[in-house]
């Protein structure tokens, strides 16, 4: 089976073949950096992280571009609003650059903890003003745009396919029922700004042939996507809420100048909801990742996200997170058992699991099914290990390799080192391993002497500090509990 991707533009799954054999170009809309990242960002970037990982695993050379939007788009109506980053700068009594730098770092901190790999190129919008101006000039030259009073607008009537992504193709019909369009300088109500003249007191502004101002918010993605990936790219990803107008505008302005398809596969990930309502900063119901990480292992959050499909809404609740914590721990437990097990004699066939996993991922990145395969493997492995024959060293290695490839390299959920001590704490980890050895030896001695009061005290006190002891047929093992 080959890879099939749901293409939002066609509203159907299509067989994926890159434009240039062996090479995949992918652009994903990045965050606007005026606040800490929330769970919605996590869902988006974890989802596309897995997409990229799977493409690479499938043998493609992937060039992944994810922008940083450090020009704040307008908060209210296009005329009345204030730049979000400028607003935040005013609130924090600093300047916009400091705001965007601060929250960019914050964003990467959170993504690193979620085990999201960095994009190959992370271009900032403010670093590409000349490219954006050049794009506007091309649009003016080709008659797709017009200038009025220092503002430049894209003329939607000049691009017949406008709205094809979102299905909003009938511009006349769209005008009835929507808010009254106040601005009269536009030729058509659906026309959108490419360049805006800066109002009095506007902090972020640049010189341009038309006015001292700032770029329209759809422009950056087109300019940077085409600069780094070419005029036609394989995949463009983003949140569903950006289909219209953002992505439709990108298509219009890009295809107007190139005459070529802008994007071959559009991928849109769905929203995170809280009690069924979309999570959003403006709705004041967003779950800040830094807060969430205080209570929950970031990899549990990643696992929680991957347990649903990227095109499905994901409803957040504490009980759902708790269920994921326990579930992920189960997978860790299996890996631990597999590693520590003494070789047996029976064979164990990993192939069917590998095939099911591959099929799931090839079917539009169906991570919930892929995760289910890991659980099925876990169950089968545990059952096999419970039998007296155990499993052979070869099978043990194969199972472990599969778990590593699928769970660690592709899904990125089994990246916690076995005893939960990461590389930074390796030395301390070794010492704790030694201490645990002593404690477990003492406990075993107590148990042999039927001094259960002492042995249980050791067990309970360790549990109190987040270390769990497990008595198995093959001896005693221990692990740290998730989130501790």
Partner RNA sequence: GGCGAAGUGGCCGAGUGGUUAGGCAGAGGUCUGCAAAACCUUCUACAGCGGUUCGAAUCCGCUCUUCGCCUCCA
- Tell me how crowded residue 312 is: count the other CB atoms within 10 A of its CB: 11
| Position 20 contacts RNA (CB under 7 A) | no
**Smallest distance from RNA to CB 309, Å:** 3
Binding letters toward RNA, positions 317-356, x by CB under 7 A = x-xx-xxx-xx--x--xx----------------------
Binds RNA by CB under 7 A, chosen from 18, 96, 213, 239: 239
Q: Which residues of 443-477 are buried (b: 16+ CB within 10 A; e: fewer)?
A: beebbeeeeeeebeebbeebeeeebebeeeeeeeb
Task: Kindly identify the residues of this chain, within the stretch 38-77, that bind RNA according to CB under 7 A.
Answer: 38, 40-41, 43-44, 69, 73-77
Q: Is there a contact between 250 and 8 (Cβ–Cβ < 8 Å)?
A: no
Beta-strand ranges (E) seen in 210-365 are: 213-215, 233-239, 263-269, 272-274, 277-278, 314-316
**Smallest distance from RNA to CB 42, Å:** 8
Number of residues this chain uses to bind RNA (CB under 7 A): 93
**Smallest distance from RNA to CB 457, Å:** 10
Q: Is there a contact between 417 and 426 (Cβ–Cβ < 8 Å)?
A: no
Beta-strand ranges (E) seen in 79-177 are: 145-148, 151-154
The interface region with RNA, picked from 55-63, 279-287, 292-300, 338-346 by CB under 7 A, is: 279-287
Tell me the C-alpha distance between 339 and 385, whole Å: 11
321 is written with which tokens?
Answer: 């997170």
Question: Which residue is listed with tokens 């463009």?
Answer: 236
Binding letters toward RNA, positions 98-137, x by CB under 7 A = ----------------------------------------
Task: Kindly identify the residues of this chain, within the stretch 438-457, that bind RNA according to CB under 7 A.
Answer: 447, 452, 455-456
In this complex, which beta carbon is closest to RNA, that of residue 282 or of residue 388?
Answer: 282
Binds RNA by CB under 7 A, chosen from 149, 282, 423, 427: 282
| Position 475 contacts RNA (CB under 7 A) | no
10 is written with which tokens?
Answer: 């066609």
**Smallest distance from RNA to CB 4, Å:** 11
| Position 177 contacts RNA (CB under 7 A) | yes
Crossing angle of helices 318-340 and 367-386, in 10° steps, is 40
Binds RNA by CB under 7 A, chosen from 14, 56, 58, 78: 78
Binds RNA by CB under 7 A, chosen from 224, 279, 410, 467: 279
Task: Kindly identify the residues of this chain, within the stretch 295-324, that bind RNA according to CB under 7 A.
Answer: 307-309, 312-315, 317, 319-320, 322-324
Question: Which residue is listed with tokens 């965050």?
Answer: 31
223 is written with which tokens?
Answer: 């300019």
Tell me the C-alpha distance between 234 and 120, whole Å: 16
Q: Any idea what DSSP says for residue 204?
A: S
In this complex, which beta carbon is closest to RNA, that of residue 351 or of residue 423?
Answer: 351
In this complex, which beta carbon is closest to RNA, that of residue 91 or of residue 430?
Answer: 91
In this complex, which beta carbon is closest to RNA, that of residue 170 or of residue 200?
Answer: 170
């Amino acid at each position: 089976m080959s890879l099939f991707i749901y293409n939002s533009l066609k509203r159907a799954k299509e067989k994926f073949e890159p434009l240039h054999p062996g090479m995949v170009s992918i652009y994903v809309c990045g965050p606007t950096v005026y606040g800490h990242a929330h769970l919605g960002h996590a869902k988006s970037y974890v989802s596309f992280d897995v997409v990229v990982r799977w493409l690479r695993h499938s043998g493609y050379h992937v060039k992944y571009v994810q922008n940083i939007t450090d020009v704040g788009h307008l908060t209210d109506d296009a005329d009345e609003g204030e730049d979000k980053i400028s607003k935040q700068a005013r609130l924090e009594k600093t300047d916009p650059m400091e705001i965007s730098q601060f929250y960019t770092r914050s964003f990467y901190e959170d993504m690193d903890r979620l085990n999201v790999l960095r994009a190959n190129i992370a271009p900032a919008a403010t670093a590409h003003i000349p490219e954006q101006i050049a794009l506007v000039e091309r649009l003016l030259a080709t008659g797709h745009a017009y200038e009025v009073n220092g503002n430049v607008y894209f003329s939607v009537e000049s691009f017949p396919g406008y709205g094809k992504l979102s299905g909003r193709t009938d511009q006349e019909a769209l005008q009835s029922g929507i808010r009254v369009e106040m601005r009269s300088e536009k030729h058509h109500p659906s026309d959108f700004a490419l360049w805006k003249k800066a109002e009095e007191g506007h902090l972020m502004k640049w010189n341009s042939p038309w006015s001292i101002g700032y770029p329209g918010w759809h422009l950056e993605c087109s300019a940077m996507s085409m600069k780094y990936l070419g005029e036609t790219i394989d995949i463009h990803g983003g949140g569903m809420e950006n289909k219209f107008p953002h992505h439709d505008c990108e298509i219009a302005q890009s295809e107007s100048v190139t005459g070529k398809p802008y994007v071959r596969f559009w991928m849109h990930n769905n929203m995170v909801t809280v009690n069924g309502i979309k999570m959003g900063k403006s709705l004041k119901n967003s779950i800040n990742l830094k807060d969430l990480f205080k209570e929950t292992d970031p990899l549990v959050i990643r696992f929680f996200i991957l347990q649903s499909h990227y095109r499905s809404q994901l409803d957040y609740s504490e009980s759902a997170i708790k269920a994921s914590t326990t579930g992920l721990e189960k997978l860790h437990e299996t890996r631990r058992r597999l590693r520590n097990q003494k070789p047996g004699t029976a064979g164990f066939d990993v192939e069917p699991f590998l095939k099911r996993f591959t099929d799931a991922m090839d079917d539009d990145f169906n991570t919930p099914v892929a995760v289910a395969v890991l659980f099925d493997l876990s169950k089968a492995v545990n059952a096999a290990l419970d039998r007296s024959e155990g499993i052979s060293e070869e099978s043990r290695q194969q199972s472990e390799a599969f778990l590593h490839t699928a769970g660690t390299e592709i899904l990125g959920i089994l990246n916690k080192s076995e005893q939960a001590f990461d590389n930074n704490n390796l030395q301390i980890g070794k010492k704790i391993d030694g201490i645990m050895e002593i404690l477990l030896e003492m406990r075993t001695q107590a148990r042999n002497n039927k001094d259960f009061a002492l042995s249980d005290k050791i067990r309970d006190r360790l549990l109190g500090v987040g270390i769990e002891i497990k008595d198995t047929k093959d001896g005693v093992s221990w692990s740290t509990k998730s989130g501790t």
